[in-house]
Every structure is written in structure tokens, then in C-alpha cells.
Amino acid sequence: MRQVVLSLLFCLGLVASGYAQPGAGAGKPPSKLTRKEQRALEKEQRDLNKKLAEARAKRALAPPLTEREKERSESLFVEGVKYALLEDYPKALENLLKAYALTPDNAAVNYKIAEANLQSGNLRDATNYAEAATRLDPKNAYYYLLLATIQASQKQYDGASKTYATLIKQVPNSGSYLFNLADLYLVQNKLPEALATLEQAEKEFGQVDEISFKKQQIYLRQNKLDLALGEGEKLIRANPNESRYVLAQAEMYASNNRLDDAVRVAKQALRVDPDNPQAHMVLAEVYRQQNQPDQAAEQLKLAFASPALDIDERVRILVGYIKQLPSPKEPVNQLAQDLAAATIKAFPKDAKAYAVAGDVQALTNHRKEARDAYLKALRYDNSKFQLWEQVVLIDAELNHTDSLLVHTDRALELFPNQSSLWFYNGVANLLKKQSQKGVKALEYGRKLVLNNPALLGQFDAQLGDAYHELKQYDKSDAAYEAALVSEPNNVQVLNNYSYYLSLRGEKLEKAKQMSGKVVKQFPDNDTYLDTYAWVLYKMKDYAGAKAALEKALESTKDASVMEHYGDVLYQLGEKDKAVAQWQRARKTGVASDLLDRKLKDRKLYE
């Protein structure tokens, strides 16, 4: 049995006499402790120290552990480590605490108990046992690292800093942890302490890029530009062929308005790496600041011509240009299009390239080209709803009904819960004279609308039209009424609702009130005037209807308006003039199904 235990300890990388094991887990950082919680933690630590002292005293008075007890302690420890590796922390702690009862002054046992508590989220006990481990074995770096991890996870950065400082002081050859200590000081914005720590590291390790870089960042935060630039020059001298340090220096000059120096250093980077896109980017920014747009544009084109400029950086730059579009300056529009084209050339199978190109085309009023670009983006990534939405909106704007129907059908396979897609799918079906399908889509999509009264009103408006086509007049009126609740001044609804009421000869006073409201707002619109005239016609106010239609005819050549005007003239007894208007309507275009009978019989049919 003894031999088996020792073999297992060896396999786990432990030291049999002390169970020393390197490595520590990391817990999720909770919020910072309150003062009350801190006092409670300190009390727990005092209690633990007291119990530990008592256990040691008791152990000192007790006979030495027998071989059987030592073997039992080792076995319990190994079991605890095994369960910890299996992430069964309750069982791990059960075994480790039993080992602790036998050997409370064993540093490795305290360490593993601390680690298991950290992994299971019990940070207070983790802190107590980790501190005990560092006191029991002050030369073991791993114990300090675990304690610092626990403290940092509780945002106890000051305590973690002190732990690292003690580690560096107590444990030989631990200078590498100066970098961790410097980072902790930076987190606390203790810039002088961080700087002093880095200088200590520099004395120990000499010129190290990480040291110079961090010192540079500290100097910048202290507004010590010359010292920061000095560190940058050190980095460049130490790495003459490393363009990233040269470019960082150039960007620092540029951001601090030392533009000539920025140009000098950026060109230095280009001598090292002639195709470096970041160097061209720096020069473009400098020329922009110097109000040299042509030179800036040229540098941007050179940067975008390089395949080394990644897609995300390209998109970031293009988004900046998109914010300026549409611009009265044609060069800005053209440059954005050129850069978008270069992005597609460099990344011909990346959806982002086509998506941003589509945005540029859309904002420069190239709607069809924008839609084509979005569709190409969807070939490579069809999971972006925003791209489908853009395609559908452009289809609707271009009145491409077939495309609208195809694209909404495809998009709904991927996004069946998007109400806007159902809306446009319903509209497309209505335009294709597929009223039943259109109504079904609109009714379903309307149920998906949440907290969007405007969209709800649009659904109701379309449903009002659709139900009318299906001769479901009660539903049509109800839908229009609902639309007007969402948007009382919706001109389309007011016009269509009043016109359809006039056709049916129902609620004519309401129709007159609604149509009059529209005409008052748009007194020269021939469509609205025609609706108003027809409501008046149905109310037998032929004089009023005549006046409205004559106003409409000043700006329209619509056949139906002419036919309506003929009907009004007929009712007013002017039959010859009426026939003349009907004939004019026939020559102009298609009006009503009754027009031919009216002309043949020279008589009004309704």
C-alpha cells in the first residue's frame, strides 16, 4: 500500500514529504468587498490562525504521527487532488480537510484546500488557506501566485500587489513577476509605483521590448510626451526591422500634431516594408490633417491595395466615409466606391466586403448596385438579418415585385419571426394579385409586432386595402379604423378608406370628413382631389365635385379623373361635354369597365 501511494504522488508531480504542487486555478471575479465583508474576512482569518495555532500546539503535545497516520494523510491528499482534477470540488474538499485535520501545518494541504475553494467560488476560505500556505512555506512561489489570484479576483488589487512584492522579496529568481506587479499598479493607476517596478525589471533583465512599451504607455498617461517618444526611439533602435514599433511612433507623432515627424517616421517604416498598409494609413491621416485630400486619398488607395490590410480595418475606414455620404464633394463619393471595390478585390469571398460596398452604393443613390452587393454578401453569409432587410427595402423602393416576393420568401425561411418580412411579403403578394396569400402573410406578421405602433399601423393599412379587394368590407373598415388609431393623420389610409366608402355609398359624411382633411393638406394632389370629388359625387354635390375635378385636371392626364369629370358633367345636364370627356379618357388610357357602354349609348352607367 505504501508503495502504491508514493507512486501516485510521483505521477502527480508532488513531493512526498510536503505534497508541494505548482499551479493554481482562476475564479470568476466578483465585486469588491465591502468594509463589513472585509472585517468578517479578517475575523475568519484570525479564527483560522487561532485554530491553526491550537492544532499545532495539540500536534506538538501529541505523539508523532504513526506510519499508518502519515499514509492515511497522504492517501487523503491524493484523493482530494484526484477529485479536484475531476472538478468534483465538494469531494475534493472533504478529503483535503480530513488530511488537514491530521497535518494542519502542511503547506501543500493548505494550498490545495485554497485552490479547491477558489474553484468552487468560496473566496473567503480560499484567501484564508492560501495565506496560511504562504506563511507555512514562504519560499514557494506558487503559493503566493494562488493568493494573488484570489485577491485579484475580488478586486483586492492592493493586497495582490503586496503579495507579489513579498513573493519577489522572499523567493529567489522571481524577478519575472515584476511584470505582474507593474500590471497591478497600472490597474490601480499607481503610475509612479508601476514605473519604479518596470525600472527595477529593466535593471535585472536589460533592454526588453515589453518594459519599454509599458513605460511608454505610463509616460503618455502622465502627459510626458518627450519621455514616451524616447521610449519609442529605444524600441526602434532595438528592433530596426520591426515596422510596428516605427508605426506606433509615427502614430504618436501624428496624434500629438507633430506632423512632419510623423511623415518622416512613416516613410522610414516604408523603407523597411514598402507595402506596409499601416504606414500608408498613417500618411493618409497626416495628409488629411494637413488638408491635402488628394495625397490622403492616394495613400488610402495604396493601403487598400495591400492584401495585408485586414477586412475589419477596411470596414472601419469605410464606415468613417459612409458617415460623410452622400457628400456634395464628388471625390468623397468616388473614393468611397474605389475603396469598397478594392476591398472586394482583396476579399472576394468575405461577406463583410460586399456588405460595406452595398452601404456605399446605397448612400450614393446606386440602389440596384447596392442590392446586388448585398445579395453577394448573402451568398457568403446569409445569417445577417440586416442584409436581408436592406435587400427587401430596395426591392420595394424599386417596385421590383417579383424580386420582393422571392427575397422575402427566402428570408422568411431563416427569420420567420421578423414581422417586417411578413409585411413586405404580404405587400408583394397583393401586388401580384394573390390577395388570399397577401392577407394570410399580413395577418400572421401583424401578430408578431411588439411595441411598434407605426409598423402596426402599416399592417392595418395594407389589410384595409386587401380586405376591400376580397370584398370583406367589415374587416376592411375595422383595419382602417385600427390604422387611424395608430396614426390618425395617415394620408394613405384617409384617402383609401374614404374612396372605398364612396364606392360603396356608405358613411359618406365620414368619408367627406376624411378626404377633406387630406385635400386641405395637399390641395394640388390630383389623386386626393379625385377621391374628394367622388365622395361629393356620391353625396349628389355635383357642383362641389366638378370644382374639385377641374382643379385635379390642371395637373393630371389620368383617364379615370377624366371619366369621373364626364360623369359629373352628365349629372349636371351637360351631356355633350360629358361624352367629350369620356372620349378623352378613352384616348388617354384605361378607365372603368363601363366606359365603352357610356360612349356607345351616350349615357351614364354606374
Cα–Cα distance, 534 to 545 (Å, whole number): 7
Report residue 45's pLDDT band, with 50, 70 and 90 as the boundaries.
low
Enter the C-alpha cell of residue 22.
Answer: 505548482
Return the pLDDT at 516.
96
Enter the C-alpha cell of residue 70.
Answer: 502519515
- Asked if pLDDT for residue 509 goes beyond 60, the answer is yes
Amino acid at 419: S
pLDDT digits (tens, 9 = 90+) for 345-363: 999 999 999 999 999 999 8
pLDDT digits (tens, 9 = 90+) for 239-296: 777 777 777 777 777 778 788 888 887 887 788 778 788 888 888 888 888 888 888 8
Report residue 26's pLDDT band, with 50, 70 and 90 as the boundaries.
very low
208 vs 424: which has the higher pLDDT: 424
With a CB cutoff of 8 Å and minimum separation 6, the contacts of 530 are: 548, 549, 552, 558, 560, 561, 564
- Asked if pLDDT for residue 3 goes beyond 50, the answer is no
18 vs 249: which has the higher pLDDT: 249
Enter the C-alpha cell of residue 298.
Answer: 492616394
Cα–Cα distance, 516 to 293 (Å, whole number): 54
With a CB cutoff of 8 Å and minimum separation 6, the contacts of 260 are: none
Question: How many other C-beta atoms can be found within 10 angstroms of the C-beta atom of residue 13?
Answer: 10
Taking residues 99-121, what's their average pLDDT? 92
Enter the C-alpha cell of residue 529.
Answer: 382631389
Report residue 11's pLDDT band, with 50, 70 and 90 as the boundaries.
very low
- Asked if pLDDT for residue 495 goes beyond 70, the answer is yes
- Asked if pLDDT for residue 563 goes beyond 80, the answer is yes
pLDDT digits (tens, 9 = 90+) for 452-473: 999 999 999 999 999 999 999 9
Enter the C-alpha cell of residue 549.
Answer: 375635378
Report residue 236's pLDDT band, with 50, 70 and 90 as the boundaries.
confident
- Which residue has 536589460 as its cell numbers? 206
DSSP classification of residue 176: G
pLDDT digits (tens, 9 = 90+) for 144-166: 999 999 999 999 999 999 999 99
Looking at every residue in the chain, the average pLDDT score rounds to 86
Question: How many other C-beta atoms can be found within 10 angstroms of the C-beta atom of residue 218?
Answer: 20
Question: How many other C-beta atoms can be found within 10 angstroms of the C-beta atom of residue 53?
Answer: 12
- Asked if pLDDT for residue 22 goes beyond 50, the answer is no
- Asked if pLDDT for residue 35 goes beyond 70, the answer is no
Tabulate helix, strand, coil % of the chain (nearest 5): 75, 0, 25
Report residue 142's pLDDT band, with 50, 70 and 90 as the boundaries.
very high
Return the pLDDT at 27.
37
242 vs 198: which has the higher pLDDT: 198
Return the pLDDT at 282.
82
- Asked if pLDDT for residue 13 goes beyond 50, the answer is no
| Residue 235 CA to its chain's centroid (Å) | 36
- Mean pLDDT check: name the lowest of 56-65, 120-129, 171-180, 391-400: 56-65
Q: Are 515 and 532 in contact (CB under 8 A)?
A: yes
With a CB cutoff of 8 Å and minimum separation 6, the contacts of 438 are: 426, 427, 428, 429, 430, 462, 466
Cα–Cα distance, 534 to 551 (Å, whole number): 13
Peptide bond into 326 cis (omega under 30): yes
Cα–Cα distance, 493 to 232 (Å, whole number): 67
Return the pLDDT at 7.
26
Instruction: Give the CA angle between residues 392, 398, 401 to the nearest 5°.
Output: 65
pLDDT digits (tens, 9 = 90+) for 497-508: 999 999 999 999
DSSP classification of residue 114: H
| Residue 160 CA to its chain's centroid (Å) | 35
Q: What are phi and psi of 206, to 5 degrees?
A: 80, -160
pLDDT digits (tens, 9 = 90+) for 425-457: 999 999 999 999 999 999 999 999 998 999 999
Share of the chain above pLDDT 90, in %: 62
Report residue 48's pLDDT band, with 50, 70 and 90 as the boundaries.
low
With a CB cutoff of 8 Å and minimum separation 6, the contacts of 349 are: 380
Cα atoms in the 13 Å half-sphere on the side-chain side of 550: 8
CA-closest candidate to residue 390, choices 423, 358, 428, 357 = 358
Cα–Cα distance, 510 to 507 (Å, whole number): 5
Cα–Cα distance, 185 to 195 (Å, whole number): 9
pLDDT digits (tens, 9 = 90+) for 312-324: 989 988 888 788 7
Report residue 12's pLDDT band, with 50, 70 and 90 as the boundaries.
very low
- Direct distance between the N- and C-terminal alpha carbons of the chain, in angstroms, rounded to an integer: 110
- Asked if pLDDT for residue 21 goes beyond 60, the answer is no
Enter the C-alpha cell of residue 132.
Answer: 496560511
Enter the C-alpha cell of residue 328.
Answer: 456634395
CA-closest candidate to residue 394, choices 363, 421, 369, 371 = 371
